[in-house]
Structure 1
Amino acid sequence: MEIQDTKPDYTIPINRVGFRGLWRRVLIDSPLGIVPLDLEINAYVEIPENKKGAHLSRNVEALPEDIEFPMKANSIEYYLEKVHKSLLKLHTYAKTARVEARTKYGVEIQFNGLKELEPVEVLISIDGNSEKKRWSTTVGVYGMTVCPSAQTTISNIINTDNLSPSHSQRVLLYGTIETEENHIVRIEDIARCLSNAFSAPSFTLLKRMQEANLVISAHKNPKFVEDVVRDAIRGLRCLSESLPESTIIKAEAISLESIHPHNVYAYTEGNIRSFPAYNCEALCKYE
């Protein structure tokens, strides 16, 4: 008997044990063609109270090389599902497993005539047993906001309503859709919804006139960080219209303040039915 299979000193079950930061390169069959993605994977299993430890080398064995399977995956979710099944097969004592993957993904962002492929942060997870699983897809994008409070105050001071100046912030916005298996929402759609929630999205390359037009557009659309979160939820709610009622949506914004030494934070989450059905905009859809 291996030491992992012996009884521990204290019969306490462990909900998750495994490796963090495992690396794999996976080929994803995306709308842009075959895209190689470097995934940082966390893989965990549950162990019962009468088992001292897990056979952790099996967590690595559960991550197949591309040359073995799959030569290409239809999605990151497809790859993680294979890993999840392998974990439960290799760890026969485990009732549940959890797999997470982080990566960066290129999404075409459109705004006022600009159309650029921009990087977004992605975290996808699958959690549960072989019969019942939950998927969670989180996308993080950068954008900017213009403070409506300062803009209104300055308008009153200089006695004008014509595009008054205000301070602006860089904002990191995360949107999450958590649902049952086989109900996958595309990363591109989530990113498009989130990029529409800012005063203006961020772009890697801006020429002088593009930069000026983006700043002007942002000042025409001032927002608090609370507004950003609300607009993100509105978009995520639209994307989740056909998903099960148990679906959860979340929005989280971190505003990196320009005139304060601290940052501002906003967060909300809820069952999709706890938010009203909005007039969904086509801009949330990737084209």
Structure 2
Amino acid sequence: MNTVSEKPLIMPDVQSSVDTRHVAIQRVGVRGVRHPMMLDLGQGPVPTVAQWELTVALPPEEKGTHMSRFVALLEQYRRQPLTPVGFVQMAQEMLPLLNAGRGDISASFPVFLEKIAPVSGVASLMDYTLSWTARVAQGEQPEFELSVLVPVTSLCPCSKAISEYGAHNQRSHVTVQAVFSDPAAIDLPALIRRVESQASCELWGLLKRSDEKYVTEQAYDNPKFVEDLVRDVAVTVRSLPGVLRYRIEAENFESIHNHSAYASVEG
């Protein structure tokens, strides 16, 4: 009986074919990838889930990039606790994996930090939204950008000044976006504490009645406009070591209006 030998199937590498349009693409890759992430913020590994975006630059002569390799990189780092330094190293490893000269990695994720109530001393978790971005290129110094959203309380100085009793207050969001020259120097818990200390009062996940008295009176004794809040946070952020540039935003969710008060500072 005659047998026919089967030849291995050859899969064409379409992405590596030559493109004749001669148009370079600055950023191509994957975004909206929800994937586990291990963090190391100096207090032991902590699991979280991040929304990822990974992109590289594509030369004009190349037709496409290898999308599956981005996800393979995430799988490679899934169980490795990441610091800002490790995050930059991950981005640097992406370049040879994708045969690219330039690339970015961004991840946005929640972080929970334990806080102690000011009077009762009860412990609870407070959540913050954090984003990391690493920008790398062959032969260039990598760039690390951090963004953190910190919820606080603000109390209106004008309301306090014109009222016989009481003053309107609201929850506020302060967003700090900063580029650092040395990712190893970043102390996230300390940065969050600095931001919270500039508000009329900070927030806690759990408060007893004695704590509620404290936060009400603390805010009343420390009124701030949104302009005060964003300026005070900018002063403390620009004093941090290694900050190359920053953008501070403050949004007060007004309790007596159906709109927000907003301010932004860049430096």
Could you tell me how far apart the structure 2 residues matched to 1:106 and 1:15 are?
A: 35
| Partners of 2:41 and 2:188 within 8 A in 1 | no
Q: How many angstroms does 1:125 deviate by?
A: 0.8
Q: Check 1:253–1:118 CA distance in 2 against 1; reply closer, same or farther (3 A cut).
A: same
Is the counterpart of residue 85 in structure 1 residue 96 in structure 2?
A: no
The corresponding residue for 1:38 is: 49
Using the aligned pairs only, state the percent identity.
26
The corresponding residue for 2:30 is: 19
| Partners of 1:150 and 1:167 within 8 A in 2 | yes
The corresponding residue for 2:106 is: 100
Could you tell me how far apart the structure 1 residues matched to 2:49 and 2:36 are?
A: 4
Could you tell me how far apart the structure 2 residues matched to 1:221 and 1:95 are?
A: 51
Q: List alignment gaps of at least 5 residues for structure 1.
A: 159-163, 271-287
Is the counterpart of residue 136 in structure 1 residue 145 in structure 2?
A: yes
| Partners of 1:4 and 1:55 within 8 A in 2 | yes
- 3-state DSSP of counterpart to 1:97: strand
| Partners of 1:225 and 1:255 within 8 A in 2 | yes
Could you tell me how far apart the structure 1 residues matched to 2:214 and 2:152 are?
A: 15
Could you tell me how far apart the structure 2 residues matched to 1:3 and 1:53 are?
A: 8
Could you tell me how far apart the structure 2 residues matched to 1:57 and 1:26 are?
A: 18
Could you tell me how far apart the structure 2 residues matched to 1:264 and 1:218 are?
A: 18
Q: Number of residue pairs matched? A: 253
The corresponding residue for 1:261 is: 258
1:229 partner letter: V
| Partners of 1:24 and 1:65 within 8 A in 2 | no
1:107 partner letter: L
Q: How many angstroms does 1:53 deviate by?
A: 2.0
Could you tell me how far apart the structure 1 residues matched to 2:70 and 2:182 are?
A: 21
- 3-state DSSP of counterpart to 1:239: coil
Alignment of 1:237-252 (within 5 A): 237-240=238-241, 243=242, 247-252=244-249
Q: Output the TM-score relative to the length of structure 1.
A: 0.80
| Partners of 2:104 and 2:135 within 8 A in 1 | yes
CA deviation vs aligned residue, 1:27-86 (integer Å, no higher than 9, x gap): 33443323223232211111112222211111112223457x63x44x1x2342232122
| Partners of 1:109 and 1:195 within 8 A in 2 | no
Q: Check 1:9–1:165 CA distance in 2 against 1; reply closer, same or farther (3 A cut).
A: farther
- 3-state DSSP of counterpart to 2:74: coil
Is the counterpart of residue 125 in structure 1 residue 126 in structure 2?
A: no
Q: Check 1:79–1:25 CA distance in 2 against 1; reply closer, same or farther (3 A cut).
A: farther
Match of 1:50 among 61, 72, 78: 61
Could you tell me how far apart the structure 2 residues matched to 1:8 and 1:136 are?
A: 33
Which is worse superposed, 102-111 or 136-145?
102-111
| Partners of 2:177 and 2:248 within 8 A in 1 | yes
Q: List alignment gaps of at least 5 residues for structure 2.
A: 1-11
Which is worse superposed, 120-129 or 208-217?
208-217
1:266 partner letter: A
| Partners of 1:25 and 1:66 within 8 A in 2 | no
Q: Provide the aligned C-alpha RMSD in A.
A: 2.3
CA deviation vs aligned residue, 1:239-275 (integer Å, no higher than 9, x gap): 23xx27xx112211111111111111111111xxxxx
2:246 partner letter: I
Which is worse superposed, 97-106 or 179-188?
179-188
Q: Output the TM-score relative to the length of structure 2.
A: 0.85
Larger Rg over CA atoms = 2
- 3-state DSSP of counterpart to 2:198: coil
